Amino acid sequence: MSGRNNSIWQALVSPVGRKVLTGLTGLGLVLFVIVHMLGNLTYLQGGDAYNLYAHKLASYGVLLYMLEIGLAAFFAVHAYIGINIYLRKRRARGGRYNTYKTAGKPSRQSWASRTMILSGVVLLVFLVLHLMHFKFGPGVAEGYVVAVDGAEIRDLRRLMTEKFQSPLYAFGYPAVIVLLGFHLRHGFWSALQSLSFTSPRWNAVLYALGAAIGLIVGTGFIIVPLWIYFSQFN
């Protein structure tokens, strides 16, 4: 038996370490999308609620900055390993099967599990566009400004309203979110399994929880754009 050769680095790039990293970063991103989704819902409260929420976030300054860097690192590590796993799997198969079917339960192979790379890459491309449109989109300097309690803050609500009145945004955004929902459907349980938090006793519950999270996060994100789009007609 070869000795204890493993530095922490070797462990992290091993099949076990790669999955632990995908799982940890994946769960971090799940937490992020849940918070983001809840934040978006403040739009539906009307008035200044959404702008105040965004302003409050921005006012955290350095703290927010650090969180954002951490988040970017999570995305980068997660996407890098995810793509790497996909490339390795293509090499590992060798020839193609003429016929391939799942054997059914207890397999958790599904459309969602087979398309993690597709949903992931779409999310990555979407992320860049999304940041350009909103985070780095027009702000106070471009006239997107609103006075709340005497202070002039960025009018993100107006930006959002304008964007989602166009059908491209109003329907393109939900399409990406549906893929996010599928990513979470397999991803949530998969991350727990990668981190060895699962047990035969709880697997059914945890797997169902993944579907619930996918559905709830997906619905939460989709409501606002559709609401904005259809409100413009009445």
Partner 1 sequence: MAKSMTIYLRVWRQAGPEAPGRLVDYTVADANEHMSFLELLDVLNEQLIHRGEDPVEFDNDCREGICGSCGVMVGGIAHGPQQRTAVCQLHMRAFKDGDRIVVEPFRAKAFPIVKDLVVDRSAFDRIIAAGGYVSTTTGGAPDANALPVSKEAADEAMDYAACIGCGACVAACPNASASLFTAAKIAHLALLPQGSIEAPQRAVAMVDQMTAEGFGDCSNHAECEAVCPKGISVHGITRMRREYIKAVLR
Applying CB under 6 A, the residues found at the interface with ligand HEM are 19, 22-23, 26-27, 29-30, 33, 75, 78-79, 82-83, 85-86, 116-117, 120-121, 123-124, 183, 187-188, 190-191, 194
Q: Binding partner of residue 62 among partner 1, ligand HEM, none, CB under 5 to 8 Å per kind?
A: none
| Nearer CB in complex with ligand HEM: 57/87 | 87
Q: Binding partner of residue 79 among ligand HEM, partner 1, none, CB under 5 to 8 Å per kind?
A: ligand HEM
- Look up residue 84 and give its two tokens: 């790497």
| Nearer CB in complex with partner 1: 59/102 | 102
| Nearer CB in complex with partner 1: 161/198 | 198
Closest CA to 206 of 108, 114, 123: 108
- For residues 96 and 173, the answer to whether their CB atoms sit within 8 Å is no
Shortest distance (Å) from residue 37 CB to ligand HEM: 11
Shortest distance (Å) from residue 89 CB to partner 1: 4
Shortest distance (Å) from residue 187 CB to ligand HEM: 3
| Nearer CB in complex with partner 1: 46/93 | 93
68 CB-side CA count, 13 A: 10
**Contacts with partner 1, residue ranges (CB under 8 A):** 1-6, 8, 11, 14-16, 18-20, 85, 88-89, 91-109, 113-114, 116, 186, 189-190, 193-200
Shortest distance (Å) from residue 189 CB to partner 1: 7
Residue 200, preceding bond cis, omega within 30 degrees? no
Q: What is the DSSP string of 67-117?
A: HHHHHHHHHHHHHHHHHHHHHHHHHHH-SPPSS-----TT----HHHHTHH
What does each C-alpha distance from 24 to 17, 89, 172, 189 come to in angstroms? 10, 21, 29, 12
- Look up residue 104 and give its two tokens: 């059914």
| Nearer CB in complex with partner 1: 21/153 | 21
Q: What letter does residue 134 receive in the DSSP assignment? A: I
| N-to-C CA span, the chain | 73
Q: What is the DSSP string of 194-222?
A: HTT---TTTHHHHHHHHHHHHHHHHHHHH
Shortest distance (Å) from residue 4 CB to ligand HEM: 25
Q: Binding partner of residue 120 among partner 1, ligand HEM, none, CB under 5 to 8 Å per kind?
A: ligand HEM
Q: Binding partner of residue 148 among ligand HEM, partner 1, none, CB under 5 to 8 Å per kind?
A: none
What does each C-alpha distance from 56 to 63, 158, 183 come to in angstroms? 12, 17, 30
Shortest distance (Å) from residue 82 CB to ligand HEM: 3
